[in-house]
Amino acid sequence: MLVKDLVEKFDLAVTGGKSGLDREVTEGYCGDLLSEVMGNAPAGCAWMTVQGHQNIVAVAVLREMAAIVITGGQIPDAETIQKADQEGIPILQWPDSSFSLAGRLFSAGVGNPASE
């Protein structure tokens, strides 16, 4: 599934990094502790977090993520959006919890081996 498919299917708002909407999402990952995410998030994931500062873009680039989904109605700051645009990392927004979106992604086949 591509990032743009996630945007359409789950009505996610695209806040930044629109040039990366054709990235492939292979699974999801939830986490807010940046050091833990840097050590464990898989490449190609849609990372769900409540963080909105520009360091999330650096982590996404480092781990070769497909997209960042800021959950819980949190809003990224202007510097984060600018950095995402520069790096081509989509920043998406979801008004509810990471948990609720992760369940929906899994049910839609993202990271779900039973759906392959």
Residue 93: CATH number of its domain: 3.40.1390.20
Contact present, 69 and 93 (Cβ < 8 Å): yes
Picking from 9, 47, 49, 1, the residue whose alpha carbon sits closest to that of residue 25 is 1
- Domain annotation covers residue 45: yes
The pLDDT tens digits for 75-110 are: 999 999 999 999 999 999 999 999 999 999 999 988
Mean pLDDT, the chain, rounded, equals 95
- Domain annotation covers residue 98: yes
- Domain annotation covers residue 114: no
pLDDT at 109: 87
Contact present, 24 and 1 (Cβ < 8 Å): yes
Q: How confident is the model at residue 115 (pLDDT cuts 50, 70, 90)?
A: low
Helices (H), 63-97: 78-87
- Domain annotation covers residue 40: yes
Q: Around Cβ 82, how many Cβ atoms within 10 Å?
A: 14
- Domain annotation covers residue 71: yes
Kindly report the pTM of this predicted structure: 0.95
Domain of 78?
Answer: 3-109
Which stretch of DSSP H or E encloses residue 34? Answer: helix 34-40
**Structurally, how many domains does the chain consist of?**
1
- Domain annotation covers residue 116: no
pLDDT at 70: 98
The C-alpha atoms of residue 11 and residue 88 are separated, in whole angstroms, by: 20
